[in-house]
Amino acid sequence: MKTPPFLYGTAWKEDDTERLVRLALAAGFRGIDTANQRRHYFEAGVGAAVGRAVAEGLVTREELFLQTKFTYRSGQDHRLPYDASADPAVQVRQSFASSLEHLGVTAIDSYVLHGPSRGQGLGAVDRVVWGAMEELHDAGSARMLGISNVTLEQLQALVALARVRPAFVQNRCFARDGWDREVRRFCDEHGIVYQGFSLLTANTAELRRPAFREIGGRVGRTAAQVVFRFARQVGMLPLTGTTDPLHMAEDLAIDDFVLSDRDVATIESIGEV
Ligand SMILES: NC(=O)c1ccc[n+]([C@@H]2O[C@H](COP(=O)([O-])OP(=O)(O)OC[C@H]3O[C@@H](n4cnc5c(N)ncnc54)[C@H](OP(=O)(O)O)[C@@H]3O)[C@@H](O)[C@H]2O)c1
């Protein structure tokens, strides 16, 4: 399946996950991001919504892009999707099998390492875990692989050691870092799709700046629409986790306007002035 132009994020939705994913699918989202990390995501709720939408004929499995993640013990609470005492490669296989069960599918479109095991560089465990993810890819059950919450240095190290290179990077995107410019550039150069999250919530001060507001006023769009359109134009795949059906529709309605090169340049540097 083709990667969709927008991903609907399912973090922090708890018992509302099924209802909100169902609304997102009805609104037109075809890409869903989740994780087998019960602390922040309710993956089985995503699966329930997907199963119902497919059964009712709203979407087919082939039209959907389903992305989930392997999360280390340090990012989990007591509700682990694997045996804490098992080897890391076994934990990957257990977590993945549990994701398939939660989502009610036989393959995942994108399987993401939620973050490296340490803040800087990659550890031996990251190599083992990536190797286990590569085996899932070899078997055809993880169609593409990705990594989240990475620095440029960690991404370079992963690309150097990987047999199956990441197809995606998913990072929190701060305007004050030029919207993660260095990582995005590396992604561009290596054919990796950059997924940006917290585009609104990480940048509230920047989105209040007069230069940013002027653009929204002139093109007649909301701040969210301008940010998501900007993200698209600079090559990002944006995520939104909105819980509001009006915002869902608004976020998807960004194909009918174009920001000028000058507006894109203004937004690129909005956090650096
Ligand atoms: N890899 C990771 O470690 C990681 C970490 C965090 C998030 N994520 C992923 O990214 C997804 C999105 O998370 P996020 O941090 O970007 O935040 P988010 O959950 O998308 O939150 C957006 C916030 O902005 C508000 N908002 C106002 N107008 C909006 C509009 N037009 N469109 C969208 N939101 C609007 C939303 O309120 P309303 O609900 O009222 O619209 C909400 O409070 C998550 O669900 C998750 O899938 C991944």
For the segment 267-272, the average pLDDT, to the nearest whole number, is 95
Q: What's the gap in Å between 11 CA and the centre of ligand 1?
A: 8
CB distance 71 to ligand 1 below 6 Å = no
pLDDT at 273: 66
Confidence of residue 272 (pLDDT cuts 50, 70, 90): confident
Instruction: Give me the percent of the chain exceeding a pLDDT of 70.
Output: 99
CA separation for the pair 177, 174 (Å, rounded): 6
For the segment 166-170, the average pLDDT, to the nearest whole number, is 98
The sign one gets for the Cα dihedral 113, 244, 51, 167 is negative
Q: What's the gap in Å between 10 CA and the centre of ligand 1?
A: 9
Task: Provide the pairing of β-strand 7-9 with 168-172.
Answer: unpaired
CB distance 214 to ligand 1 below 6 Å = no
* pLDDT tens digits, 213-251: 999 999 999 999 999 999 999 999 999 999 999 999 999
* pLDDT tens digits, 101-112: 999 999 999 999
CB distance 56 to ligand 1 below 6 Å = no
Instruction: Tell me if residue 145 falls in helix, strand or coil.
Output: strand
For the segment 86-113, the average pLDDT, to the nearest whole number, is 98
Ligand 1 pocket test: which of 227, 244, 250, 251 has the largest number of ligand atoms within 8 Å of its C-beta?
A: 244
Length of the chain in terms of residues written: 273
CB 225 within 8 A of CB 254: yes
Q: Which atom of ligand 1 is nearest to the CA of 199?
A: 16
pTM comes to: 0.98
Longest dimension (CA), the chain: 57
CB distance 201 to ligand 1 below 6 Å = yes
Q: What is the mean pLDDT of the chain?
A: 97
Instruction: Return the beta strands (E) in the chain as ranges.
Output: 7-9, 31-33, 65-70, 108-113, 142-148, 168-172, 193-197, 236-240
Closest-CA residue to 121 (of 155, 90, 164, 95):
155
User: What are phi and psi for residue 136, nearest 5 degrees?
Assistant: -65, -35
CB distance 219 to ligand 1 below 6 Å = no
User: What are phi and psi for residue 85, nearest 5 degrees?
Assistant: -95, -5
CB distance 224 to ligand 1 below 6 Å = yes
The answer, yes or no, to whether residue 2 has pLDDT greater than 90, is no
Q: Is 149 left (phi over 0), alpha (psi -120 to 50) or beta?
A: left
Confidence of residue 120 (pLDDT cuts 50, 70, 90): very high
